[in-house]
Homo-oligomer: A and B are copies of this chain.
Amino acid sequence: MALNSKSIRRLLADVHRGKLSPDDAVEKLRHLPFEDLGFAKVDHHRHLRVGMPEVVFSPGKTPAQVAEIFKRLAMHAPNVLATRASAEQFRAVKRSVRGVHFESSARAIVLQRDEQQYGRGKISVISAGTSDIPVAEEAALTAELMGNAVARIYDVGVAGIHRLLAHRKAISQSRVAIVCAGMEGALPSVVGGLVGIPVIAVPTSVGYGASFQGLAALLGMMNSCASNVSVVNIDNGFGAGYVASLINRL
């Protein structure tokens, strides 16, 4: 925040000292500094504002675009993450940025130079089935990259409730839980009823037929009868990891 305040103060000091006319200052004040790559405004100050690394959502971008954005961000932020990345996008980034690696289970390109723990407790990442793991891994990886200890609890869906109950203690010792489930999306309600911590629910597109690509799970989670549940987009492991990290820093 220092940098930001500093530059604004410098500008106003310039007005104060008469080096800048009020009119010019009006115009300048509207501009927070960001760099223009032509196809994307790289917003270095988002880092300042929210205290988190920048993230690239990879689908629909060419490998060259991902690499260029990733490189610029890596000049300013210690940790950078590209989600839903392909191997091809990773190879392009690897050629431009030193120290990146690819987490295939989470389909993510990762640059982690700051390994400090910012979270004050543990985050549980829970998945209903084996097929939900890629989304859960995206959430877990995001949380780890943002400086959190993560407990992974996978394949504990509601049709075998005893499997979940075995982990009740571990979950309740976390400060926040992420629950990923497709099909009927019932797991967040059950977890929410078992523990008194905030639960971030992630509907996944796992299922077929009347799951309608995750709509059934999304609607189920929106209607959770447990009051400690809030929901992010279908398959949005990153968002869940991000929200949970913010909560765990409090």
Nearest Cβ on chain B to A207's Cβ, whole angstroms: 5
Q: How far is the CA of A234 from the CA of B183 in the complex (A)?
A: 12
10 A-B contacts (beta carbon < 8 Å): A5-B26, A30-B165, A30-B169, A41-B163, A183-B225, A186-B190, A209-B223, A216-B216, A219-B220, A247-B250
With A219-B212, A246-B196: A161-B163 Cβ-Cβ less than 8 Å: no
A195 touches B (CB below 8 Å): yes
Q: How far is the CA of A43 from the CA of B184 in the complex (A)?
A: 20
Q: How far is the CA of A43 from the CA of B194 in the complex (A)?
A: 13
- Whether the pair B228, A189 counts as a contact (CB closer than 8 A) is no
Contacts of A145 in B (CB 8 A): none
Q: Which residue of B lies closest to A213 (CB)?
A: B209
With A205-B209, A222-B231: A133-B39 Cβ-Cβ less than 8 Å: yes
- Whether the pair B31, A184 counts as a contact (CB closer than 8 A) is no
Q: How many identical chains are in the complex?
A: 8
Q: Which residues 165-200 in A have Cβ within 8 Å of B in the complex?
A: 165-166, 168-169, 175-176, 182-186, 189-190, 192-198, 200
Nearest Cβ on chain B to A18's Cβ, whole angstroms: 7
With A41-B160, A49-B196, A189-B158: A227-B209 Cβ-Cβ less than 8 Å: no
Nearest Cβ on chain B to A212's Cβ, whole angstroms: 7
A67 touches B (CB below 8 Å): no
Q: How far is the CA of A50 from the CA of B159 in the complex (A)?
A: 11
Q: How far is the CA of A130 from the CA of B55 in the complex (A)?
A: 13
Q: Mark A135-166, 1 if CB is under 8 A from B, else 0.
A: 00000000000000000001111111111011
Contacts of A185 in B (CB 8 A): 184, 186, 220, 223
A229 touches B (CB below 8 Å): yes
Would you list the 7 A-B pairs with minimal beta carbon distance, nearest first?
A209-B234, A12-B22, A186-B186, A50-B196, A159-B193, A216-B219, A230-B230
Q: Told that A40-B130, A182-B223, A231-B231 touch, could you supply 14 new A-B pairs with CB distance under 8 A?
A: A13-B22, A15-B16, A27-B169, A39-B130, A41-B155, A49-B196, A183-B225, A184-B219, A184-B224, A198-B246, A207-B223, A210-B215, A210-B219, A223-B233
Q: Mark A34-47, 1 if CB is under 8 A from B, else 0.
A: 10001111010110
A51 touches B (CB below 8 Å): yes
Contacts of A130 in B (CB 8 A): 39-40, 60-61, 65, 69
